[in-house]
Structure 1
């Protein structure tokens, strides 16, 4: 199983209009405060940390980076620039792994 988002080093390249949506070919389930996922096409398992899990939850409907940050800044009491950088990294990694799609 891949434990993603513990050491995020993948920079994002999203613009403010890009929306993100869950890949429908991914199944997921909660295990305590983390999300465990399987990409059914690749047969790979993933575990998301609590912040990545919250991003996944928010992406029940397509959202842009800025829309995600509005919610997360309030919930996590984080500076806007830091939120943008870290969420952008999460999104880029999720896209790279095929868990999310850009629309």
Structure 2
């Protein structure tokens, strides 16, 4: 798993559109489409402006009534997958 020490930012090559509780995304470079459901869509919305893992988890903890520590592993795994697919970048 990736250690996320910088800010998570959306890749400029990804277009996205909000559809009720989901997000539809298109990777312009890879030509792939993605559909993000509930919590994944929330994370995508949160990183409209670059955020640290701690900032993302703090917001999710409030929304989903959990602790930031409890969501850190799941969010880190999700961000790692997004990064591997070049949908996000990690800024210093």
TM-based fold match above 0.5:
yes
What are the superposed Cα offsets for residues 5-62 of structure 1, whole Å, 9 maximum, x if unpaired?
A: xxxxxxx3224x3111000110011222110100011110011111111111111111
Gaps of 5+ in 2: none
**Number of residue pairs aligned between Structure 1 and Structure 2:** 91
SS in 2 for 1:88: helix
Answer yes or no: is the 8 Å Cα contact 2:14–2:27 preserved in 1.
Answer: yes
**Once superposed, which parts of structure 1, at least 4 consecutive aligned residues long, lie more than 4 Å away?**
none
Q: Could you tell me how far apart the structure 1 residues matched to 2:3 and 2:51 are?
A: 12
TM-score by structure 1 length?
0.81
More helix by share: 2
Gaps of 5+ in 1: 1-11
What is the match of residue 21 of structure 2? 33
1:15-30 equivalences in 2 (<5 Å)? 15=4, 17-30=5-18
1:1-103 equivalences in 2 (<5 Å)? 12-15=1-4, 17-103=5-91
